[in-house]
Amino acid sequence: MHRPALGAALAAAVLALTAGCSADGSRGALPGTPSEDSAASSPAAAASPTAPSAPPARGSVDVASTLAEDLESPWGVAVLPGGDLLVSSRDQGTVTRVSAEDGTTTRLGSVPGVAPSGEGGLLGLAVSPDFASDRMVYAYFTTASDNRIARLLYDEGRPEGQQLGAPDTVLRGIPKGTIHNGGRIAFGPDGMLYAGTGEAGTPGLSQDRESLGGKILRMTPDGEPVHGNPEADSIVYSLGHRNVQGLAWDGDGRLWAAEFGQNTWDELNLIEPGGNYGWPEVEGRGGGADFTDPVAQWRTSEASPSGIAWAEGSIWMAGLRGERLWRIPLAGAEPSAEPRAFLEEEYGRLRTVVAAGGDRLWLVTSETDTRGTPGPGDDRILGLRVR
């Protein structure tokens, strides 16, 4: 594996522009509507005088800086107001703050109850939409009995390593397994909390409407069902997923999700309320009228996608097994050109990508997750300029 030399430059401070940092005041409104060996496959949007504008077909990626290195099993990333990053360690069960200005790290503390095993541990992070007043950080993590979501008070006035309060569980009972724990959480433009879950190695859970496994969930910050969800008194937003680890909203508020296929197709899906995305009845396209096809699909050797982000008119998708960053340019709800891969086999496994405002992204590697081949400096956070 090629390992580029690290530059001396550190990342400039950036303005956080992620769905998890603020709400637009429209709490309760339904988003998602307009008012882990062959080439990637995607339909291209037909050009017409009324078609939505599209970004450049090919795009570009420039690795501008290395913000931090020597991170252990980094997984979830949340952006604080002002731009600093909170990073979870899956296997250590800790949360670390990384300065967006100079990469300085501060250990906030450990999340009690985390039981790392296989693909489980401390996974996704999100910052409360009301962080300025409530100082709450949300975490998705694996325990001895389940996966759950809890919120913790972040008190910067306390000593390093003791800045996280006791977890207040907002949701429990998400199925856990050695594999397929999902784990990505994010606050949407509506101020609601979304979570991508896995079927924990039991495929039938994905079609079981009474199970939280193999779903995308939508809930209030307190973990309660949201008025307007597809089914009353349920936090299930969509079903038929295998293992969702990527969630992002585009500039028009549409929700996109990336998920692992089994042996054939990984998927990028446009999420509609109540949509059934087919697993385990179908993998990739071809599910017929009963299921929603993915917008784009990849051979599992080329992707195995985890985090995604939206920036400069495209979805950017981090690949683990594929060891590359995919760009999917959009014209509205459709790809405007074929997906293109960047950074192929340059930095190893790629876990998380986060929008950092304008043409900036943060990209987190995943070589120390027991499945990589870590080299000097792994794991690291890279600062990207994209178009």
Instruction: For residue 156, count CB atoms less than 10 angstroms from its CB and return exposed for 0-12, middle for 13-18, buried for 19 or more.
Output: exposed
Q: Give start and end residues of each alpha helix (H) in the chain.
A: 131-134
d(CA 99, CA 172): 32
- What the block records as the tokens of 49 is 């005088």
> What is the Cα–Cα distance from 350 to 73, expressed in whole angstroms?
11
Asked if residue 380 lies in contact with residue 351, where contact means CB atoms within 8 angstroms, the answer is no
Tens digit of each residue's pLDDT (9 = 90 or more) over 167-198: 999 999 999 999 999 999 999 999 999 999 99
DSSP 8-state code for residue 310? E
Contact call for residues 120 and 156 (beta carbons, < 8 A): no
Confidence of residue 20 (pLDDT cuts 50, 70, 90): very low
User: Residue range 356-374: average pLDDT?
Assistant: 98
Average pLDDT, the chain: 90
Q: CB–CB of 212/197 below 8 Å?
A: yes
Q: Give the whole-angstrom CA distance, residue 385 versus residue 387.
A: 7
Compute the half-sphere exposure of residue 154: CA atoms within 13 Å on the CB side of its CA.
Answer: 24
pLDDT in tens, 301-350: 999 999 999 999 999 999 999 999 999 999 999 999 999 999 999 999 99
Query: What band does 15 get if pLDDT is binned at 50, 70 and 90?
Result: very low
Query: What is the C-alpha to C-alpha distance for residues 282 and 273, in angstroms, rounded to an integer?
Result: 19
- Asked whether the beta carbons of 14 and 356 are under 8 A apart, the reply is yes
Residue 243 has pLDDT above 50, yes or no: yes
Number of CB atoms found within 10 A of residue 262's CB? 15
As a whole-number percent, the residues of the chain with pLDDT over 90 amount to 85
Residue 22: partners with Cβ closer than 8 Å, 6 or more residues away: 81, 129
What does the pLDDT average to over 245-272?
Answer: 98
Q: Is the pLDDT of residue 1 over 50?
A: no
Parallel/antiparallel/unpaired status of strands 340-342 and 360-365: unpaired
- Mean pLDDT of the region 358-381: 98
Closest CA to 174 of 165, 183, 166: 183
What integer pLDDT is reported at residue 50 of this predicted model? 56
The pTM for the full model equals 0.88
Instruction: Answer whether residue 52 shows pLDDT above 80.
Output: no
Torsion angle of C-alpha atoms 342, 362, 374, 70, degrees rounded to 10: 160
pLDDT for the residue numbered 118: 97
pLDDT tens for residues 98-129? 999 999 999 999 999 999 999 999 999 999 99
pLDDT band of 53, cuts 50, 70, 90: confident
Average pLDDT in the 78-106 region?
A: 98
Which carries the bigger pLDDT value, residue 298 or residue 24? 298
Rounded CA gap, 190 and 161, in Å? 33
Q: What is the pLDDT of residues 196-223, one digit of tens each?
A: 999 999 999 999 999 999 999 999 999 9
Q: Are strands 94-98 and 136-142 parallel, antiparallel or unpaired?
A: unpaired
Residue 13 has pLDDT above 70, yes or no: no
